[in-house]
Amino acid sequence: MLALRLARGARPLVQLRRLLVAAASAGTGFLLLCTLGYAMGHPDASGGALLRLAWCVAPIAATVYFAVTVARTDPATKPRSGLSAVGLGPAKLSVLAAISTAVACTLGSMVALLVFLHLRGDLTGLPFDGAASELLAADQPLPVAAALTLLAVVPLTATAASAAVLRPRTAKPAKPDREQDEPARWYTRAAPGSPPSGLPWGIALLAAGLAVEGYASRSAGTSDLTLPGGLAGSPAGVLAGWALTAVGLALAGPGLTYLCGRVLQAARPGAMRLLAGRGLQEEARRIGRPLGVLCAVGSGAYAALTLYAGDRPAIGPLTTLGALLVAGCAVLTLVTVTIEAKHARADTTSALLQLGAPAAMLRGTAALRAGTLAVVIGPLTWVVAELAALPLAK
Amino acid sequence: MVAPPDNDVLWARALHVTHNGSPALTGVSLGVREGEILAVTGPRGSGKTTLLRCLCGQLLPEQGEVWFNSTPVHTMTPVVRERLRRDRFGWIDPEPHLVPELTAGENVALPLMLRGASHRESKASAREWLDRLDIGDCARKRPHALLQAQRQRVAIARALVTMPSVIFADEPTAPLHRADRAHVLRTLTTAARSHGITVVLASHDAEVAALADRTLTLLDGRRVNTVHLPGVKETEKTAERAETTETAETDEPGADGPGADEPGAAAGPARSAGSGGDSDDAEGRAACSLSV
């Protein structure tokens, strides 16, 4: 109840974020139910149904990632002195965050179920009644247990993940993302200045992934794994390689961001370059990971576009929905994290304003940061995407 | 509107401020002379911070006037007030709000860089100020690696580096221990005196008055001449000194006499008074009797 009360009093932006989580959860739930419908409609094609279910892992992962980010950045779950005085310490607050994540995701799952039933024709009285009845196997009775199990996947995973991420840890001085409820918390927050360590691993994985992809596409074997949309040729190796590149990009994100900041503030910087560069270095851990994920998603999207550009069969609506979900979750995660970073720097910003920094300069600093990241990450994404699409497009 | 006397760098008349309806300042008038160090003392909640924020133009009084160098501050537009604050005023917070990702030296150089000075000269003068405040060896460290007293001194250096006309220090020693407190205050006042910078220093600490030219005592948003604090013997001396300080209208050349000449005597009783509680709260929470 307390979680609901706290949720009711939150600001519109926070509510919007929770609604977006619910929407993502709804989309993923709908995809899962559609695989169920396919499996019911094609009892003999269990391999295909399983493959569809496997492809749902990508939207599920994206949704859970987004939900955890929203739970982490939720202002209601930040330790507050007033709440901790009445017994709501960090531990209780992490439970609250998990509950609100569960509420949002369950809401989404319910919506997914309603839409699914509606499109099947089980619920009547609205337009598009039974619009997809034959696709979703309306002639078969819906196995309730299976549907509920599938629908519970996203809420359970997201709740468990956010509880695990937000669990109160013993406050070590070198934990970047945890903030204690100390008044001067940005001094105790991190050991700033130490670069994130994932860059070599990320680059190694990236290179390995590209190599695997190249080799796999040369062998041109056939396997049971097919891309959605019925792509002929079975690029299991290609997919494995692409997954490696994606992981590599996600790992390399923080390091790349840190490097961008470092380059930006090099060589006798003025106030703007200094603040922008150091800000990037400071926020590299926070922003870098979602940026890397977005980069991976972008390169995947580019590869998919080149792949389907030829005379391949058209992409189905469910594939589009899945792709949109993944891309949307990646973008929204980055946006959420950016907002979180902005809130975390509110103290610094007010100190700068007190020093007489014009607001235009602060905006310029933010723009400079975003511009640098775009200039560095954009071409990188493009290159990786080109390299990844090269073997696929043959 | 009466033009203020010419020799006052800051002049305020009958300031009235309420925070959400509860009165914070009720008719405070004062003048701050060029180059002097004015201590604004009083217990917690007596309106010191509000007075400082009014004087530097962060907060507009509901009634009353604030003049800076014969220009009215209370009629300025927010943009002009912001520029005034940036160019002529310095501000020191109770907590050193440093930019965490910059080193101490860069923190001090930042105001100069923001005003368009080149990287090299800002760094050089930041270095000078850090050396002057005895923290030259911290210049390359980040704020998180510094002690609180060092951070506060960095904040003071940052306020001094632009050589403003007036520095407003709002309880600059609040988070510090006693030894650091005396050191930081002495650093600030010495630097201000040697560069002719006017300082308005808010503090609930009676020791501060020893370093100031004049003391202005606030209680519940009014100026008072005497604050009789309980604790009888120990604070008697402090109260006596508060009695000898004058209101803004009349000058008293000997005001800095008792403070400056016998800092040990002033510090002694206050120290023993503070040892009972946390020294911050002892005075603030005590029941006070006043004579206006």
Confidence of residue A368 (pLDDT cuts 50, 70, 90): very high
How many angstroms separate the CA of residue A279 from the nearest CA in chain B? 7
Decide which of A191 and A293 is more confident: A293
Domain's final residue, options A116, A149, A167: A167
Decide which of B37 and A175 is more confident: B37
Test B97 with A357 for CB contact under 8 angstroms: no
Confidence at residue B178, expressed as pLDDT on a 0 to 100 scale: 82
Confidence at residue A170, expressed as pLDDT on a 0 to 100 scale: 63
Chain A residue numbers with beta carbons less than 8 Å from the beta carbon of B114 are 271, 355-358, 361
Test B111 with A187 for CB contact under 8 angstroms: no
B151 Cβ contact partners less than 8 Å away, ≥ 6 residues apart: B96, B98, B143
Find, in chain B, the residue whose alpha carbon is nearest to that of A351: B97
Is A303:A389 a contact under the CB 8 Å cutoff?
yes
Instruction: Reply yes or no on whether the pLDDT at A10 is more than 80.
Output: no
Residue B147, chain A, CB below 8 Å: the answer is no
Instruction: Reply yes or no on whether the pLDDT at A394 is more than 70.
Output: no
* Residues A137 and A203 occupy one common structural domain: no
Predicted structure pTM score: 0.77
Nearest by Cα to A236 from A32, A391, A46:
A391
- Which of B101, B110, B115 faces A282 most closely, judged by CB atoms? B101
How many angstroms separate the CA of residue A194 from the nearest CA in chain B? 11
Residue B82, chain A, CB below 8 Å: the answer is yes
Parent domain of B63: 8-97+164-291
Test A192 with B106 for CB contact under 8 angstroms: no
Find, in chain B, the residue whose alpha carbon is nearest to that of A268: B119
Find, in chain A, the residue whose alpha carbon is nearest to that of B148: A187
Residue A191, chain B, CB below 8 Å: the answer is yes
Q: Residue A187 falls within a domain, yes or no?
A: no
Q: Residue B150 falls within a domain, yes or no?
A: no
Test A192 with B98 for CB contact under 8 angstroms: no
Chain A residue numbers with beta carbons less than 8 Å from the beta carbon of B144 are 187-192
Residue B102, chain A, CB below 8 Å: the answer is yes
The predicted model gives A214-219 an average pLDDT of: 70
The DSSP 8-state label assigned to residue B214 in this structure reads: E
Instruction: Reply yes or no on whether the pLDDT at A35 is more than 50.
Output: yes
The separation between CA B181 and the C-alpha centre of its own chain, rounded to angstroms, equals 13
CA pair distance B207, A100, nearest whole angstrom: 52
Confidence of residue A331 (pLDDT cuts 50, 70, 90): very high
CATH number of the domain bearing residue B270: 3.40.50.300
Dihedral of CA atoms B156, B159, B163, B164 in degrees, nearest 10, equals: -130
Confidence at residue B220, expressed as pLDDT on a 0 to 100 scale: 86
Confidence at residue A15, expressed as pLDDT on a 0 to 100 scale: 87
Going through B189-236 in order, the beta strands assigned E by DSSP cover 198-203, 214-219, 222-224, 226-228
CA pair distance B66, B73, nearest whole angstrom: 5
Q: Residue A273 falls within a domain, yes or no?
A: yes
Is A284:A196 a contact under the CB 8 Å cutoff?
yes
Is B86:B133 a contact under the CB 8 Å cutoff?
no
Confidence at residue A217, expressed as pLDDT on a 0 to 100 scale: 67
A146 Cβ contact partners less than 8 Å away, ≥ 6 residues apart: A36
pLDDT digits (tens, 9 = 90+) for B5-40: 667 888 888 889 988 888 888 888 888 888 899 999
Confidence at residue B247, expressed as pLDDT on a 0 to 100 scale: 41
The predicted model gives A87-114 an average pLDDT of: 87
Find, in chain B, the residue whose alpha carbon is nearest to that of A361: B114
Domain's final residue, options A167, A183, A204: A167
Q: Residue B187 falls within a domain, yes or no?
A: yes
Say how many CB pairs under 8 Å bridge A and B: 67
CA atoms within 13 Å, Cβ hemisphere of A181 = 17
* Residues A224 and A153 occupy one common structural domain: no
* Residues A232 and A103 occupy one common structural domain: no
Q: Residue B201 falls within a domain, yes or no?
A: yes
Decide which of B202 and A168 is more confident: B202
Q: Residue B172 falls within a domain, yes or no?
A: yes
CA pair distance B33, B256, nearest whole angstrom: 14
Confidence at residue A84, expressed as pLDDT on a 0 to 100 scale: 75
CA pair distance A67, A17, nearest whole angstrom: 9
Is A66:A21 a contact under the CB 8 Å cutoff?
yes
CA pair distance B100, B145, nearest whole angstrom: 10
* Residues A26 and A130 occupy one common structural domain: yes
Nearest by Cα to A209 from A317, A336, A300:
A300
Decide which of A269 and A66 is more confident: A66
Q: Residue B240 falls within a domain, yes or no?
A: yes
Helices (H), strands (E): how many in chain B? 10, 12
Alpha-carbon distances, residue A140 vs A53, A137, A318 (angstroms): 19, 6, 21
* Residues A101 and A198 occupy one common structural domain: no
* Lowest mean pLDDT segment, chosen from A164-168, A254-258, A328-332, A387-391: A387-391
**Domains in chain A, number:** 2
* Residues A163 and A206 occupy one common structural domain: no
Backbone angles phi, psi at A62, to 5 degrees: -65, -40
Q: How large a percentage of chain B has pLDDT more than 90? A: 5
Parent domain of A216: 194-394
* Site from B123, B142, B144 to mutate, A interface, most A CB atoms within 10 angstroms: B144
Q: Residue A235 falls within a domain, yes or no?
A: yes
CA pair distance A170, A192, nearest whole angstrom: 19
- Which of B97, B111, B114 faces A347 most closely, judged by CB atoms? B97
pLDDT digits (tens, 9 = 90+) for A104-155: 999 999 999 988 888 887 766 666 665 666 667 667 777 888 889 999 999 9
Q: Residue A73 falls within a domain, yes or no?
A: yes
- Which of A192, A193, A269 faces B119 most closely, judged by CB atoms? A269
pLDDT digits (tens, 9 = 90+) for A232-276: 444 677 778 888 888 999 899 899 999 998 898 888 788 888 889
* Residues A218 and A80 occupy one common structural domain: no
Q: Residue A174 falls within a domain, yes or no?
A: no
Test B86 with A348 for CB contact under 8 angstroms: no
**Domains in chain B, number:** 1
CA pair distance A245, A274, nearest whole angstrom: 32
Chain A residue numbers with beta carbons less than 8 Å from the beta carbon of B110 are 271, 274, 352, 355
Name the burial class of residue A78, with classes exposed (0-12), middle (13-18) and buried (19+) by CB atoms within 10 angstroms of its CB: middle
- At A360, which amino acid appears? A
- Which of B114, B142, B143 faces A355 most closely, judged by CB atoms? B114
CA pair distance A293, A252, nearest whole angstrom: 10
* Residues A34 and A107 occupy one common structural domain: yes
* Residues A201 and A257 occupy one common structural domain: yes
Alpha-carbon distances, residue A343 vs A349, B97, B102, B175 (angstroms): 9, 16, 18, 25
Instruction: Reply yes or no on whether the pLDDT at B231 is more than 70.
Output: no
Test B113 with A270 for CB contact under 8 angstroms: yes
Confidence of residue A375 (pLDDT cuts 50, 70, 90): very high
Confidence at residue A27, expressed as pLDDT on a 0 to 100 scale: 93
Longest Cα–Cα distance of chain B, Å, equals 56
A213 Cβ contact partners less than 8 Å away, ≥ 6 residues apart: A237, A238, A241, A242, A245, A387, A388, A391
How many angstroms separate the CA of residue A345 from the nearest CA in chain B? 9
Polymer length in residues for chain B: 292
* Residues A198 and A155 occupy one common structural domain: no
Domain's final residue, options A167, A182, A216: A167
Chain B residue numbers with beta carbons less than 8 Å from the beta carbon of A275 are 99, 102
pLDDT digits (tens, 9 = 90+) for B65-104: 898 888 888 888 888 888 888 888 888 888 888 888 888 9
Q: Residue B38 falls within a domain, yes or no?
A: yes
Instruction: Reply yes or no on whether the pLDDT at B200 is more than 70.
Output: yes
Test A282 with B100 for CB contact under 8 angstroms: yes
Strand partners, B201: B39, B169
Given CA atoms B55, B60, B65, B71 in this order, what sign does their dihedral have? Answer: positive
Confidence at residue B289, expressed as pLDDT on a 0 to 100 scale: 42
Test B98 with A347 for CB contact under 8 angstroms: no
Find, in chain A, the residue whose alpha carbon is nearest to that of B82: A356
The DSSP 8-state label assigned to residue B197 in this structure reads: -
ipTM over 0.85: no
Test B119 with A187 for CB contact under 8 angstroms: no
Any idea which residue has 């009789």 for tokens?
B228
Find, in chain A, the residue whose alpha carbon is nearest to that of B57: A354
Helices (H), strands (E): how many in chain A? 15, 0
Average pLDDT over all residues of chain B: 76
Find, in chain B, the residue whose alpha carbon is nearest to that of A187: B144
How many angstroms separate the CA of residue A268 from the nearest CA in chain B? 6
* Lowest mean pLDDT segment, chosen from A21-25, A216-220, B134-138: A216-220
Q: Residue A182 falls within a domain, yes or no?
A: no
Confidence at residue A314, expressed as pLDDT on a 0 to 100 scale: 63
Q: Residue B115 falls within a domain, yes or no?
A: no
Alpha-carbon distances, residue B208 vs A99, A346, B181, B183, B188 (angstroms): 52, 32, 10, 11, 11
How many angstroms separate the CA of residue A352 from the nearest CA in chain B? 8
Chain B residue numbers with beta carbons less than 8 Å from the beta carbon of A281 are 101
CA pair distance B272, B292, nearest whole angstrom: 27
- Helix (H), strand (E) at residue B31: strand B22-33
The predicted model gives A25-37 an average pLDDT of: 91
Test B114 with A356 for CB contact under 8 angstroms: yes
Q: Residue B111 falls within a domain, yes or no?
A: no
